[in-house]
């Protein structure tokens, strides 16, 4: 996860991960390793791809309030905000909606540990809000922007304010059903909520913005003819030419099957950096992103066709690997004989990534 001076930790680690944090002194995103305990969240600095022994900071969860999603950063829809008892704010950025929601629920459970009924209700809510596994969000978004068959942008007025290019919540739900991306209005509203949280669409007008800020996970998008939405500006900014658009559609249109933070060795300087990896199928690609940047474009990636992936033993650093090696190392060799050295946070995570990649090669 990423931190803007904020992210999750547990005791007898209930959960741990990398994330981005927003710095309180120097206002930029920094990658930190978070551990959630029963009453506090610890975060650690990563040096050369290795977690330091002592935590860089501790967030006490007693009397904390949590905001999820946090709308203070336009290009980061996966941010969690923690406000401590002493009014210190922490912003934590996740790599996926699922990870963000899991962290938010676990942190909320820690905050309300003395109220088991509320904790049980939170987990029921989490389990009832799932994205269909066969949906590719990038494919849906490309269809939504189609000039002839996509979602129509029209002028709409709310409380005396005119929104020239917008659509209603009910119109988007109708469009998703008519294009067979979902089978019911409830499923469509859930999918529309995911599109909004992934920053493909955004609320405009008081009613939809208020629902986004204060609604439960399943109530952040309004299937209503008076709630207004529009496309997020970042969608078109990411495309600089027809050639790049074609490439992005091809590479990024696959269904996401796995994503998370791993540590990758650079090809030139051989230094280790945390990257958010996204594994897609049909077509099979593995992309990685710089978690400290607001740009949603991949920092790199490659086709998995013809790739070889294997675990590397911890008792010895292979040729080609330099610097600190935390362990749990694996290697991917592309069909063009480019070698990628990657570290996972645990042996179990390494096994999961290797198995997921092998299924697509």
| Angle CA 130–5–324, to nearest 5 | 90
Total domains, the chain: 3
Residue 60 and residue 162 in one domain: no
Domain that holds residue 37: 2-127
Q: Is residue 283 part of a domain?
A: yes
Looking at the chain, list the stretches that DSSP marks H as alpha helix, in order from N- to C-terminal side: 97-111, 116-127, 137-144, 169-178, 185-197, 206-214, 234-237, 242-252, 347-358
Residue 121 and residue 144 in one domain: no
> CA–CA separation, 302 vs 61, rounded Å?
41
- Which of 173, 205, 236 represents a domain boundary (last residue)? 236
Q: Is residue 82 part of a domain?
A: yes
Sign of CA dihedral 24, 27, 32, 34: positive
| 69 in Cβ contact with 215 (< 8 Å) | no
Q: Is residue 176 part of a domain?
A: yes
Residue 229 and residue 287 in one domain: no
Residue 55 and residue 107 in one domain: yes
> CA–CA separation, 18 vs 43, rounded Å?
9
Residue 353 and residue 260 in one domain: yes
37 pLDDT higher than 90: no
The enclosing domain of 108 has a CATH number of 2.30.29.30
- Closest C-alpha to 80, from 26, 49, 118, 41: 41
| 287 in Cβ contact with 253 (< 8 Å) | no
Residue 352's pLDDT is: 92
Tens-digit pLDDT profile for residues 290-308:
877 766 778 888 999 889 9
Residue 9 and residue 34 in one domain: yes
What does residue 35 show for φ and ψ, rounded to 5 degrees?
-135, 125
> CA–CA separation, 130 vs 140, rounded Å?
17
Residue scoring higher pLDDT (218 or 10): 218
Using pLDDT thresholds of 50, 70 and 90, give the confidence band for residue 289: confident
Residue 95 and residue 16 in one domain: yes
- Which of 109, 127, 145 represents a domain boundary (last residue)? 127
Tens-digit pLDDT profile for residues 114-136:
565 655 555 555 455 455 555 56
Q: Which residues are within 8 A (CB) of 30 and not within 5 positions of it... i.e. 6 or more apart?
A: 2, 3, 20, 21, 22, 23, 292
Residue 117 and residue 158 in one domain: no
Q: Is residue 39 part of a domain?
A: yes
Q: 96 burial class (0-12, 13-18, 19+ CB within 10 angstroms)? A: middle
Residue 204 and residue 148 in one domain: yes
Residue 74: both structure tokens together: 């336009």
The enclosing domain of 225 has a CATH number of 1.10.10.10
| Average confidence score pLDDT of the chain | 77
Q: Is residue 275 part of a domain?
A: yes
Residue 231 and residue 279 in one domain: no
What does residue 100 show for φ and ψ, rounded to 5 degrees?
-60, -45
- Which of 180, 203, 236 represents a domain boundary (last residue)? 236
> CA–CA separation, 178 vs 151, rounded Å?
11
Residue scoring higher pLDDT (243 or 266): 266
């Amino acid at each position: 996860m990423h931190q803007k001076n904020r992210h999750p930790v547990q005791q007898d680690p209930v959960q741990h991960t990398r994330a981005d944090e927003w710095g309180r002194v120097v206002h930029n995103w920094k990658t930190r390793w978070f551990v959630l305990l029963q009453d506090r969240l610890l975060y650690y600095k990563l040096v050369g791809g290795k977690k330091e022994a002592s935590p860089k900071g501790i967030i006490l969860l007693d009397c904390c309030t949590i905001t999820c999603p946090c709308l203070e950063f336009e290009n980061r829809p996966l941010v969690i905000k923690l406000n401590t008892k002493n009014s210190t704010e922490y912003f934590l950025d996740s790599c996926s909606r699922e990870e963000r929601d899991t962290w938010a629920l676990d942190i909320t459970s820690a905050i309300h540990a003395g109220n088991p009924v509320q904790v049980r209700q939170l987990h029921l809510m989490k389990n009832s809000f799932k994205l269909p596994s066969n949906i590719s969000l990038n494919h849906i978004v490309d269809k939504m922007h189609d000039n002839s068959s996509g979602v129509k942008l029209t002028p709409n007025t709310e409380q005396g304010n005119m929104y020239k290019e917008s659509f209603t919540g009910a119109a988007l739900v109708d469009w998703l059903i008519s294009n067979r991306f979902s089978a019911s209005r409830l499923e469509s509203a859930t999918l529309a909520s995911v599109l909004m949280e992934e920053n493909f669409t955004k609320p405009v007008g008081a009613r939809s913005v208020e629902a986004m800020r204060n609604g439960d996970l399943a109530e952040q998008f309004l299937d209503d003819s008076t709630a207004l939405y529009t496309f997020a500006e970042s969608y078109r900014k990411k495309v600089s030419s027809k050639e790049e658009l074609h490439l992005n559609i091809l590479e990024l249109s696959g269904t996401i099957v796995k994503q998370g933070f791993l540590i990758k060795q650079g090809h030139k300087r051989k230094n280790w950096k945390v990257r958010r990896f996204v594994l897609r199928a049909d077509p099979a690609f593995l992309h990685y992103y710089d978690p400290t940047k607001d740009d949603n474009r991949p920092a790199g990636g490659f086709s998995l066709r013809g790739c070889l992936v294997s675990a590397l033993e911890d008792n010895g650093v292979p040729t080609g690997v330099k610097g600190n090696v935390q362990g749990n190392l694996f290697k991917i060799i592309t069909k063009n004989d480019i070698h990628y050295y990657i570290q996972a946070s645990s042996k179990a995570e390494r096994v999961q990534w290797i198995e997921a990649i092998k299924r697509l090669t």
